């Protein structure tokens, strides 16, 4: 089955394809030659995922799914949340985003946080939403070279490593995106 995955992010594409059954082939926005920025102006993480799917369904006649992820930090009243990708500005720099977050938490001992991923799927003009959550904490400094986004400063509950210190396989067992994807995969299996 070919399905459009609304992303330009090659790291994310690789991570998601590794979790998919072998018969599901992901088509990225780059594969489609789509260079346009897809709007992400909703007020919620789920709303952004839905907005991306609707944007693509207007243009392509095949199954499509889109995700949006936010990092929610308790001590910052839920920041960066829906603004996670552009927390430090519209240039979407992961380094700047992490630096700003660490700076805001400098004197704060409450480092509790969670990643939330929402995946919207449009299959045969039927839309469904899946969610995954990973609880954890923000480290005091960046550690690790793997992953992307906030991975170097997020330590999932029950671990002493950041996501950026884990292999793709280790992260794939516990991450917010993996949890939401497992729900999506189960749904696709039932729909076949």
Residue 13 has pLDDT above 90, yes or no: no
Question: Which letter does DSSP use for residue 192 in this model?
Answer: -
Average pLDDT of the chain?
A: 92
Helix (H) or strand (E) run with residue 49 in it: helix 45-57
Note if the pTM is more than 0.85. Answer: yes
Pick the CATH number of 2-191 from 3.20.20.330, 3.30.9.10, 3.90.950.10, 3.30.70.2740: 3.90.950.10
For residues 22 and 26, what is the distance between their CA atoms, to the nearest angstrom?
10
pLDDT tens string 100-127: 999 999 999 999 999 999 999 999 889 9
Which sequence spans correspond to the domains of the chain?
2-191
Percent with pLDDT over 70 in the chain: 99
Instruction: Give the pLDDT score at 191.
Output: 74
* Given 30, 36, 67, 68, the catalytic residue: 68
Cα separations (Å) of 157 from 58, 133, 162, 170, 186?
Answer: 40, 11, 10, 13, 25
Known catalytic residue: 2?
A: no
Out of 3-17, 69-83, 138-152, 159-173, least confident range: 3-17
Using H for helix, E for strand and C for coil, what is the string for 30-78? Answer: HHHCCCCCCCCCCCCHHHHHHHHHHHHHCCCCCCEEEEEEEEEEHHHCC
Query: Do 87 and 26 form a contact (C-beta atoms < 8 A)?
Result: no
Phi and psi at residue 83, to the nearest 5°? -100, 15
Residue with tokens 């938490």: 105
Over range 19-29, report the average pLDDT: 88
pLDDT tens string 65-86: 999 999 999 999 999 999 998 8
What pLDDT band is residue 192 in, cutting at 50, 70 and 90?
low
């Amino acid at each position: 089955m070919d399905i459009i995955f609304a992303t330009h992010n090659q790291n994310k594409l690789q991570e998601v394809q590794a979790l998919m059954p072998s018969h599901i082939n992901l088509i990225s926005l780059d594969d489609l030659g789509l260079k346009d920025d897809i709007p992400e102006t909703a007020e919620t993480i789920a709303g952004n995922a839905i907005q991306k799917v609707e944007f693509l369904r207007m243009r392509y006649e095949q199954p499509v799914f889109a995700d949006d992820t936010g990092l929610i930090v308790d001590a910052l009243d839920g920041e960066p949340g829906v603004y996670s990708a552009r927390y430090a500005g519209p240039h979407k720099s992961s380094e700047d985003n992490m630096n700003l977050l660490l700076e805001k938490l400098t004197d704060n001992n409450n480092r509790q946080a969670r990643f939330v991923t929402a995946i919207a799927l449009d299959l045969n003009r039927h839309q469904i939403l899946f969610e995954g959550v990973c609880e954890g904490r923000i480290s005091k400094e960046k550690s690790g070279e793997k992953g992307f986004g906030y991975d170097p400063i997020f330590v999932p509950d029950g671990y002493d490593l950041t996501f950026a210190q884990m292999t793709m396989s280790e992260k794939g067992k516990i991450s917010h995106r993996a949890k939401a994807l497992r729900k999506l995969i189960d749904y696709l299996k039932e729909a076949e």
